[in-house]
Structure 1
Amino acid sequence: MNWHLGRLCGFDLETTGIDVESDRIVTACVVGCGGGQPTDSRTWLADPGIEIPDGAAKVHGITTEKARAEGRPAADVIAELVTALASAARDGEPIVAMNAAYDLTLLDRECARHGVKSLWDYTDAIPLVVDPRVLDKRVDRFRRGGRTLTDLTKHYRVPLDGAHTADADAIAACRVAWRIATQNGQIADLALPDLHEQQVEWAREQAGSLRDYFAKTPGKEHQAASVRTEWPLIPRQQNGADQ
């Protein structure tokens, strides 16, 4: 059976910002969907231990006050989140995450920060990742327009109710991945380990192309150095997880 017809594990974070080395998890969702089974969604609200900037709060709706009043300790949330993802990986489910290198890297840094075992340290639960963003850029490289999750749901005619909430985004990512595989037999026919390894290369090529574009575009040259080509996990920088 092709991978997209089995159970998918959607994963999404909403955070304090966009820096994987220093920002923190605010909300998270792990959702199981597909495979002829009911959708099963689990969500978390964490107290990140730092102020949530107004800009971030406007995106996901969680203020510092709400997180402190209603959120659970970040270390507990992170431990449960990693356990849920490891369980899915152990069951052979792909972890589906839009722009996976961001979410999975930030989660890894949170693990280091709070002394939690990283998902990547489970020898019996090696995560295989499906990233709708990487897949979309591969199958429709020259399409004009944005490539955000909202853009992809519109392009692939996938419902997205409550954008920028972790549960809605996790489910939508699974639906987009399913749609891409349904429309592209070469993606659907790949075994999950092979698809994962192909995405490592595709993501590297896509990031390299973006870096070259920045380097050659007046006024954007400074952005080239910040483009990372690693996927789905950016290696830890020295002292980066201690911020």
Structure 2
Amino acid sequence: MIWTDVPWLGFDTETTGVHVHEDRLVTAALVLRRAGAHPREADLMRTWLADPGVEIPEKASAVHGITTEYARENGQPITQVLDDVASTLTDHWKRGFPVVVFNAPYDISLMEAELRRHGLPTLEERLGRLPSPVIDPLVIDRVVGKYRKGKKTLVLMAPVYGVVAEENAHTAEVDVQMTLDVLGGIARKHSDTFGAMTCMELHEWQKREHAQWAADREEYMRRSVGKEVVISRAWPLE
């Protein structure tokens, strides 16, 4: 199946922090774009608000707008949210269709850590394999936009691919739709490079390119600022 012609399921989370093995899920959004890079029908969206069972730091609340009190009063139990999201993701993967995630190792690794923490089957256990196929616009842009100056955030990347950067970025439902739009722009702009790949061919290509980027970044940091860093080669799951 050519990756541009199958249903894409966009996935994004907002959390209590930035540490994938320690922090907790607060919100999640899934958006089904049924025609992939050729949208002809309205997207189907589902969102969740969880009570993560821990305090949400003020720094995290300032980003996504969810406070501890609001989550406790309005959120669903975290185990219910995790099981719902995991079931939807794995059902899509089992059909051979890709899940689209910007900076995939963060959201997918956090999901695995949360499922394991709460005694629920992980994505890998539900699938009987590592989560795949995954499409990560950040990995692709690091290759095709390698020499473009500036940070590679979703908001800054959006205009490069003809997408309006939303003012309400950093809410899961807005970010996931913007991620799908950016991927559509990449598909149109670089059809000669990626147009004939299957979902799994693109998945494996991203694994190789992420590992190469990590090695190059480590070398750059060592040479330019004399800083030794270790960047995980694992993708899309740390």
Q: TM-score, normalised by structure 1?
A: 0.90
Give the aligned partner of residue 81 of structure 2.
77
The answer to whether the Cα contact below 8 Å between 2:132 and 2:203 also exists between their aligned partners in 1 is no
Q: How does 1:181-196 map to 2 (within 5 A)?
A: 181-184=187-190, 185-196=192-203
Does 2:45 match 1:38? Answer: no
Distance in 1 between residues matched to 2:128 and 2:237, nearest whole Å: 18
Quote the residue 1:139 is aligned against: 144
Aligned partner letter, 2:16: T
Unaligned runs of 5+ in 2: none
Matched residue, 1:207: 214
Give the structure 1 partner of residue 21 of structure 2. 21
In 2, the alpha carbon distance for the partners of 1:145 and 1:210 equals: 15
May I ask how many residue pairs the two structures share in their alignment? Answer: 231
Q: How does 1:30-179 map to 2 (within 5 A)?
A: 30-35=30-35, 36-123=40-127, 127-161=132-166, 162-179=168-185
- Measure, in 1, the Cα distance between the counterparts of 2:67 and 2:222: 37
Comparing 150-159 and 54-63, the one that deviates more = 150-159
Alignment partners' CA distance in 2, 1:29 and 1:123: 20
TM-fit CA distance, 1:146: 1.2
Q: Which amino acid aligns with 1:169?
A: D
Residues 116-150 of structure 1 deviation map (CA, whole Å, 9 limit, x = unaligned): 11112233785200000001111121111110110
C-alpha contact 1:90 1:124 (8 A) present in aligned 2: no
**Which whole-Å deviations, capped at 9, do the CAs of 1:83-121 have from their partners, x for residues lacking one?**
011111123321000000111001100010011111122
Percent identity between matched residues is: 36
Q: CA deviation at 1:154?
A: 2.0
Q: Quick check: 1:4–1:177 contact (8 Å CA) kept in 2?
A: no
Give the superposition deviation at 1:34. 4.0
State the alpha-carbon separation in 2 of the partners of residues 106 and 201 from structure 1. Answer: 22
TM-score, length of structure 2 as denominator length: 0.91
Distance in structure 2 (CA, Å) of the matches to 1:92 and 1:68: 36
Structure 1 residue identity aligned to 2:172: A
3-state SS, counterpart of residue 122 of structure 1: helix
Unaligned runs of 5+ in 1: 235-243
Distance 2:68 2:127 in 1: 36
Name the amino acid aligned to 2:183. Answer: A
Runs ≥4 in structure 1, deviation > 6 angstroms?
none
